[in-house]
A and B are shown apart, each in its own frame.
Chain A
Amino acid sequence: MSGIETAIRENNPALITYVTAGDPSLEDTEAYVHALDRGGADLIELGLPFSEPIAEGPTIQAAINRALEAGTTPESFFDLVADLETEAPLLVMTYYNMILQYGSEPDPEPFVERAAGAGLAGIIVPDLPAEEAGPLREACDEYGLDLVFIVAPTTGGERLDRIMSRATGFAYVQARLGTTGARANVSSATHESLARLEEYDVPKAVGFGVSKGEHATEIIEAGADGVIVGSALIDIIAESDTPAADLEAKARELKAGALEGVDAPEPEQP
């Protein structure tokens, strides 16, 4: 079992948090990661900013712009990661072109080698479906990194089988169609997606739209092994005067919410 899968299984229900590296600076990111780690995050995703984030809603788009304006580069990102010491394993979330361009030829291997060297445990690539993931999969296998696949509400049939058979670490269950962003409610598609995935023995974590403890409760009740929260944390970073303290508090709220979902009786499937 990989470090990521272990982190989820042993801390089930797991809290997975996302922040964009370099928003508003890499020094701040370092402080935020420690705050989330203290607050109970079991896995921490760090976004390596790319100029064309097509899977992102306005909140994370703005975070990525701030990070790019601060001059965040793959090299400064890896340097930060190499220095970070956290309980929670770290993953990098970025777009495929960033992975391809690291090194002199378009090839995913140098990026993966550097990521492994910096101590990252896994990679998530929102614009890389399983069909195109062969070369990255190979490099990840070689360097012992997990490649986390996203399962969307539209994923089904043979493709779902294929994705789940290749998934390592956990399956990133996209709660709703569309882009990332905090929402008021948990999507009804979440329950359907988790029901569809029940038969697969891979940990399932639900993201896209999760922003509160109650959401975490509902998602864990519905059968997930973890919740993924991003935009709600970015909002804190963008708006709070004491972002590190507020991020830590938010992580505690979310983790407590998730734990509440474990003890609750199984709800009727809608």
Chain B
Amino acid sequence: MSESTFGSYGGQYVPEALMPAVQELEDAYERYVLENEDGFMDEFRERLRDFGGRPTPLQRAERLSDRYGREVYLKREDLLHGGAHKLNNALGQVLLAKYMGKERIIAETGAGQHGTATAMAAAHLDMPCEIYMGATDVNRQRPNVYRMRMNGAKVNPVEAGRGTLKEAINETMRDWATTVETTHYVIGSIVGPHPFPKMVRDFQSVISEETREQIDEQVGRLPDSVVACAGGGSNTMGTFHAFVDDERSAKRSSADDSSGEQREPREHVSLYAVEAGGSSLAIDEAEGLAPNSATLSTGTDGVLHGAMTKLLQSDDGQIMESHSVSAGLDYAGVGPELSYLVDAGRVTPVNVDDEDALNAFHRLSTLEGIIPALETAHAFGYLERAHEDLGELIVVNVSGRGDKDLETVLEETEKRDLEAAPEIEVFGP
């Protein structure tokens, strides 16, 4: 059996009814994903290429490089089919569900990107599919709701709480606890009970595997820094994974080194996980509200959605309602592997607030001709603020494109005086 934890994080904190399914999945993960049984991984890679459009480019950002006086490269996951990194995972899991003989797919979604990717993968592989999405998110990410429906998925709005990702996960878990014998739950990030965090990371690791080769080919060396936004952290770990061992000062103790082998890396690659600072980093205990999603920087250890990890929670252990202008980062938890790597000093958690993310959204749109997802914009907000600390060669993951966010950005831009925003006339009806 594969290790179910990352240090003290991770585990399998799920209702008893789900344990047999989680263990069945563990077995399938080991056989098909880790051991390529029946050529599963070969088929997965082939479909990622032909259906998904991989590999995605690593592109030198000319105007950002000029602006910051250092080399900035963009990993273009926005060019993956569906417009975000989410398809890497969704396609992997729906294919795995097929190999396991499951008959139905369910998934939660926040921004709707994971739901969209899952709906596409399910249509592609001929599986019935239902998506749970918080009612607030249904409203702010409507284009994605339409896309899911176009692909034949049923979209179930979830009214509980603030109607965001956390509530959508709760409701999907309840569905799974009822239908577990026939249904696979395609979880959308590196969260949930083991083996989800490892499995989703493995499906997403194609991002960093390609990046490592591409940067070596184009520049002849590894980057000084790799920057990615983090909600649950799937694009983040996908972008980091192949660089985690590129660390010169071995801060982690040897007991933590699961690979066993010690190699002295040529170069040190710094890893930055950019979370949503929202409107403020303060917590309102009385209201149960954290107006941010900066779990890695401000959270404390606890159990949510099947795993021990860092959480935004009250002293009593009630989970906070998080906030971010970007639905995909709006989550009170985070992947257990990121919690572990942050404690180990390998990943640096930073955060960017709503306003800086919006500015970064406009900057990338006008300077580079790339309209990023609001989630992604957080990574570029950090680049703007901290580029001087990031070395001479920087890779930023463009986790997704921003078509889904245009309405939100227009609304939020109107409310503010944003330095990077162009004059936008909103045409009347």
Residue positions of A touching B, CB distance < 8 A: 50-57, 61, 68, 73-74, 95-102, 106, 126-132, 149-156, 159, 163, 174, 177-179
Residue contact B318 to A51, C-beta cutoff 8 Å: yes
Collect the chain A residues with CB atoms within 8 Å of residue B115's CB.
none
Q: What 1/0 mask marks residues of chain B from 137 to 156 whose CB sits below 8 Å from any chain A CB?
A: 00000000000000000000
| A129 & B16 in contact (Cβ 8 Å cutoff) | yes
Give the docked Cα–Cα distance between A57 and B160 (Å). 12
Q: Which residue on B lies nearest to A65, using beta carbons?
A: B160
Q: In the complex, which residues of chain B have a beta carbon less than 8 angstroms from the beta carbon of A153?
A: 17
Within 8 Å by CB of B19, from A54, A55, A129, A179, lies A129
Residue pairs across A and B with Cβ atoms less than 8 A apart, 6 shown, are A54-B305, A127-B13, A154-B19, A155-B16, A163-B16, A174-B17
Which residues of the other chain, A, contact B174 by a CB distance below 8 angstroms? 54-57, 178-179
Interface set, chain B 364-396, CB cutoff 8 A to A: none
Known interface pairs A52-B170, A54-B173. Does A152 touch B15 (Cβ–Cβ under 8 Å)?
yes
| CA distance in complex: A130, B317 (Å) | 22
Cβ of B417 within 8 Å of any chain A Cβ, yes or no, is no
Provide the residues of chain A in CB contact with B319, threshold 8 Å. Answer: 51-52, 97
- Chain A CB within 8 A of B36 CB: no
A216–B288 Cα distance when bound, in Å, is 40
Which of A54, A151, A154 sits near B21, CB closer than 8 Å?
A154
B12 contacts A by Cβ under 8 Å: yes
Of the candidate stretches B176-184, B214-222, B232-240, B263-271, the one touching chain A is B176-184
Across-interface contacts of A95 in B (CB, < 8 A)? 303
Q: Do A149 and B16 touch across chains, with their CB atoms under 8 A apart?
A: yes
Docked CA distance A51–B181 (Å): 27
Which residues of chain B are near A179, meaning CB under 8 Å?
A: 174, 177-178
A149 to B15, CA, bound (A): 10
Q: Are B16 and A54 in contact (CB under 8 A)?
A: no
Min CB distance, B127 to chain A, in Å? 20
When the two chains form their complex, are residues B303 and A152 in contact, meaning their CB atoms are under 8 A apart? no
- In the complex, the answer to whether A132 meets B12 with C-beta atoms within 8 Å is yes
Main secondary structure on A side of the interface with B: loop
Interface flag for B316 (CB, 8 Å)? yes
Q: Is the interface of B mostly helix, strand, loop or mixed?
A: mixed
Contact A128 B178 (CB under 8 A): no
Whether B316 contacts A74 by the Cβ 8 Å rule is yes
**Contact assessment for B179 and A177 in the assembled complex, using a CB-CB cutoff below 8 Å:** yes
B20 contacts chain A at the CB level, 8 A cutoff: yes
Q: Residue B16 contacts which of A50, A53, A73, A174 (CB distance < 8 angstroms)?
A: A174
> Across the interface, do B181 and A154 meet the contact criterion of CB distance under 8 Å?
yes
- Most chain A C-beta atoms within 10 Å of own C-beta, residue among B15, B17, B302, B318: B17
**Which 7 A-B residue pairs are closest in the complex by CB-CB distance?**
A101-B317, A178-B178, A152-B17, A51-B318, A150-B16, A154-B20, A97-B303
| Interchain CB contact under 8 A, A100 and B20 | no
A151 CB, nearest partner CB in chain B, Å: 7
CA distance A132 to B18 in the complex (A): 14
Residues of A within 8 A of B177 (CB): 54-55, 177-179
Contact status B15-A54, CB under 8 Å: yes
Does residue B224 face the partner (Cβ distance < 8 Å to A)? no
Contact B170 A54 (CB under 8 A): yes
Known: A96-B13, A132-B11, A178-B177. A156 touches B302 (CB 8 A): no
